[in-house]
Structure 1
């Protein structure tokens, strides 16, 4: 666990606007440019477009995360405005930015994960053919459950009285986004199909990264939460970086893998997380597990993690225990549990 005193002001108030400008501009240009490339007749340009579109969607998700922490701008209003813009790109816009931010901050403060319903019980209550289809799609790496939970979140205001004030908002959002995708389909059905493929790519990467960052307990929203201390937080948090040797590779995911450092100082901006990580830790702590090392776990437990829980990344001797690290399922800061 980190015990080193750090200069908090260095990480909270020494902003680097150029880095933020480059990240936001890259995300927006790659999104628009990616769609433009999908519309081209050349297959190679289409492939490049899918890559850029997928990466722009990922960057929009991780930027939205920083906006939720008010880590980009000093002004809360600007963080909310740009956070909503990023959610519009990645499809998280069917929940209010403020509600997503509030739930995510609660994840930090309470050191647990939240849900509104038991996914396993929900699956078991389904007709067997539907459940088998969903699990078969998951086995084939199609994120069927991710789409299911997003659909539930979108329609939740229409059956959840606590969210009934969002009904008109979600209706207009559906009409606008539906109209834009219909227009894309009219112009180029191929482009719409490739956009969908890029979105699946974003979901897959987000799920993979989110699966192995915590071994927190999961509690229903609104239930009584036991107190968990900082030691518990760090012991159940993992830094699943892309690479420890080639740290620049972590920029591909805006340094989101430095998760122990992020939980130690949650308002630290994305570009300062590697420095914060170096200040806090020696680099040989057990919480470091690179994403390439977890590929096998993601594949092996893609269905069994539904029923076995997150497992344990560290054994009783304080050593890595990848064979028992199953990973979480459908834990996302972009979806309001419904």
Structure 2
């Protein structure tokens, strides 16, 4: 595949890119077909397949945002925009998504423009619903953030220049869903479940990767922050939350996004090179690598406290996770540019 190779940032990237794109298409489309089948087992497999396809698409969007796949920004942008539709983040622009994520890397903070915490406190009835849904393990905060992404251009918090695009995206996506409902109402209803599953996975792996400060300054590109550009602070406050140390292949379930210290060390390194980079830079005994058991325990115990959490606190995250005391932080997905 010489034509593709010459456009790739890394010459060995042809087969990894081909395979991951094939996986996304097979699981996403295959998931829809399975969700429409009668019975329980095949539709259940369809929900998992479709949801996982969206997860992998989202993490590949992340690689595109860092120009980790192609040499030219325009090629990464084209693929990133298409993947953004698959992952369900297309209500916001790819450019805004990328800008927010680059600020995260440069500022060593999590910049936002919409503070859902303050908004919930001002709307106590909705707050009660969010608390109830989160108690039931439904990612209500992230659903809220995606809803904000849909309507933002029509409100004071959004960019009015994006109204035509936002309206076109809303009409297109809902028309597609309506068409699919004619084919199978069951599949459309189960797609909502698959979408919720994807949001849960994405926010779970976001929740314990940093203990950065959340700052409401996304619209201020000149904001001064105390740790901006500080590489030592960046690594000391970043954590690699591996699915498994013993069986590294399992980390492909989240496209190696969990090798987060390696990613922050070299952001343009593509997903398939991160395990080797992690081993080269940190080795197997790296103290910033946290285990899955502690993450699950902390997420379960502190899922309600996470609604208003803004940082992990001043304790060491690995120790807090081992004790089941680490509080997750919600609403920071790179798919929501707010």
Shared fold per TM-score greater than 0.5? yes
In structure 1, how many angstroms separate the alpha carbons of the residues matched to 2:125 and 2:73?
47
Stretches of structure 1 that go unaligned for 5 or more consecutive residues are 1-10
The residue correspondences of 1:225-244 to structure 2 (distance < 5 A) are 225-228=225-228, 229-244=230-245
Aligned pair partner of 2:196 in 197, 200, 205: 200
Please name the residue that 1:150 is paired with: 146
Deviations 1:171-194 (A, max 9, x none): 111111000111122222111111
Please name the residue that 2:4 is paired with: none
Tell me whether 1:116 sits opposite 2:117 in the alignment.
no
Secondary structure (helix, strand or coil) at the match of 1:94 reads coil
Deviations 1:267-311 (A, max 9, x none): 000000000001100221221112233101011111112334322
Tell me whether 1:90 sits opposite 2:91 in the alignment.
no
Residue 234 of structure 1, CA deviation? 0.7
In structure 1, how many angstroms separate the alpha carbons of the residues matched to 2:318 and 2:162?
47
In structure 1, how many angstroms separate the alpha carbons of the residues matched to 2:251 and 2:180?
33
Deviations 1:312-331 (A, max 9, x none): 4854xx96232442121111
Secondary structure (helix, strand or coil) at the match of 2:319 reads coil
The residue correspondences of 1:146-295 to structure 2 (distance < 5 A) are 146-160=142-156, 163-220=159-216, 221=218, 222=220, 223-228=223-228, 229-295=230-296
Point out the more displaced range, 287-296 or 161-170: 161-170
Secondary structure (helix, strand or coil) at the match of 2:128 reads helix
Contact 2:64 2:80 in 1 (8 A): yes
In structure 1, how many angstroms separate the alpha carbons of the residues matched to 2:313 and 2:241?
14
In structure 2, how many angstroms separate the alpha carbons of the residues matched to 1:262 and 1:156?
31
4+ residue runs of structure 1 moved beyond 3 angstroms?
11-15, 312-315
In structure 1, how many angstroms separate the alpha carbons of the residues matched to 2:314 and 2:103?
23
Please name the residue that 1:49 is paired with: 46
Aligned pair partner of 1:141 in 132, 137, 143: 137
In structure 1, how many angstroms separate the alpha carbons of the residues matched to 2:34 and 2:135?
30
Please name the residue that 1:40 is paired with: 37
Secondary structure (helix, strand or coil) at the match of 1:16 reads helix
Contact 1:239 1:260 in 2 (8 A): yes
Please name the residue that 2:334 is paired with: 333
Deviations 1:211-246 (A, max 9, x none): 000000111122432244111001110000100110
CA gap of 1:301–1:284, structure 2 versus 1, over 3 A, is same
Contact 1:243 1:250 in 2 (8 A): yes
Contact 1:312 1:321 in 2 (8 A): no
Contact 2:290 2:318 in 1 (8 A): no
CA gap of 1:313–1:64, structure 2 versus 1, over 3 A, is farther
Stretches of structure 2 that go unaligned for 5 or more consecutive residues are 1-7
